């Protein structure tokens, strides 16, 4: 079922998500009883960027490869939101997670031992990155972010990099207060945000580039020309896979090596994890595979936090 749109004050939403007292397993599908770094299993969590019942299938080939490389069963968690992933990793319930860039920075701020190991790319040799789009209906008359002032504006989630943090910085630079200058609507997903704009539930909104340019068009949920992109962010560092600080160092290295060297279409197809390259899914973003990353890649997110002074950035200390 599509996430319900909810109108909330930005500050209140951020505070509520970050003042998590025990979202843990209540915000996650059951994970089993193994502890991070234990010998029984590795808990791998991800948050869907759009409404999906097949998120685990998108990671099936990568999970199968990781199980062989680590000699350990992988338990997949379809998390409800990034706040749940951050809290789950802090609480010792998640070993490996796919974060958004902002949620990774938040997690790293709360636990310096969390280690980013890889991010996805569309082709070999590319740098991991993407853009946030500011979008309106084609006939809205809005031509730039300044035109978002006074409107119902769809964001994704207060902890979303391309669905909230970078858009907030863009609005501020355009002279629009992202809290008081618009009526914020948190749609819960990038697809939900874009579709709410298309249907008129929001006058304008934000979503990441591939959702607008590819995925919703290919699924038939949007028609070509139905939305207009009036703003593009700078390149945002790609969403990282990160390993919890409590994972045994030898296992952490094995996971990092597996993502950097083998979590790609070429390897997975050649070694029987995918039947053929054309149908090989390597994570939800559907790119070629993963490349190594380090923490410094996400300093751009930290700079945007300095621009916005968003309440959700305060956990960075």
Write out the two tokens for 208. 């990441």
Check residue 20 and give its pLDDT.
Answer: 29
Q: Report the alpha-carbon distance of residue 305 to residue 309 in Å, rounded.
A: 6
Question: Residue 189 maps to which CATH number?
Answer: 3.40.190.10
- 92/110 same-domain check: yes
Question: How many domains does the chain fold into?
Answer: 2
- 100/35 same-domain check: yes
Q: Report the alpha-carbon distance of residue 168 to residue 307 in Å, rounded.
A: 9
Residues of the chain with pLDDT under 50: 1-38, 316-317
Order of strands, edge to edge, in the sheet holding 227-232? Answer: 6-7, 183-186, 152-155, 204-208, 132-137, 227-232
In a domain, 39, yes or no: yes
- 137/195 same-domain check: yes
The pTM for the full model equals 0.70
In a domain, 277, yes or no: yes
Closest CA to 89 of 260, 317, 242: 242
* Positive or negative: CA dihedral 202, 207, 209, 212: negative
Q: Report the alpha-carbon distance of residue 309 to residue 8 in Å, rounded.
A: 18
- 149/185 same-domain check: yes
Q: What is the pLDDT of residues 138-158, one digit of tens each?
A: 999 999 999 999 999 999 988
In a domain, 265, yes or no: yes
Residue numbers of the domain that contains 261: 31-126+239-295
């Amino acid at each position: 079922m599509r996430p319900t749109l909810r109108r909330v004050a930005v500050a209140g939403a951020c505070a509520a998500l970050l003042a998590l007292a025990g979202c843990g397993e209540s915000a996650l599908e059951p994970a089993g009883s193994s502890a991070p770094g234990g010998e029984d299993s590795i808990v791998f969590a991800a948050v869907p960027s759009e409404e999906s019942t097949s998120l685990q299938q998108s990671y099936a080939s990568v999970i199968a490869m990781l199980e062989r490389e680590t000699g350990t069963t992988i338990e997949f968690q379809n998390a409800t939101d990034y706040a749940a992933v951050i809290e789950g990793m802090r609480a010792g319930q998640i070993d490996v997670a796919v974060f958004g860039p902002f949620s990774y920075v938040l997690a790293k701020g709360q636990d310096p031992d969390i280690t980013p190991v890889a991010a996805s790319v569309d082709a070999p040799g590319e740098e991991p990155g993407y853009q946030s789009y500011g979008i309106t209906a084609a006939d809205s008359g809005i031509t730039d972010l300044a035109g978002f002032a006074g409107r119902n504006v769809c964001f994704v989630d207060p902890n979303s990099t391309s669905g909230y943090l970078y858009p907030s910085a863009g609005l501020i630079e355009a002279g629009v207060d992202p809290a008081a200058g618009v009526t914020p609507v948190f749609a819960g997903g990038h697809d939900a945000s874009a579709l709410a704009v298309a249907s008129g539930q929001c006058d304008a909104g934000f979503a990441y580039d591939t959702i607008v340019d590819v995925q919703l068009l290919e699924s038939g949920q949007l028609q070509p020309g139905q939305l207009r992109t009036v703003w593009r962010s700078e390149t945002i560092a790609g969403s990282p896979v990160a390993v919890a600080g409590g994972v045994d160092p030898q296992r952490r290295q094995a996971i990092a090596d597996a993502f950097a060297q083998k979590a790609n279409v070429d390897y997975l197809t050649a070694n029987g994890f995918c039947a053929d390259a054309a149908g090989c899914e390597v994570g939800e973003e559907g790119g070629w595979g993963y490349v190594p990353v380090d923490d410094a890649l996400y300093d751009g997110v930290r700079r945007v936090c300095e621009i916005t002074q968003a309440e959700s950035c305060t956990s960075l200390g």
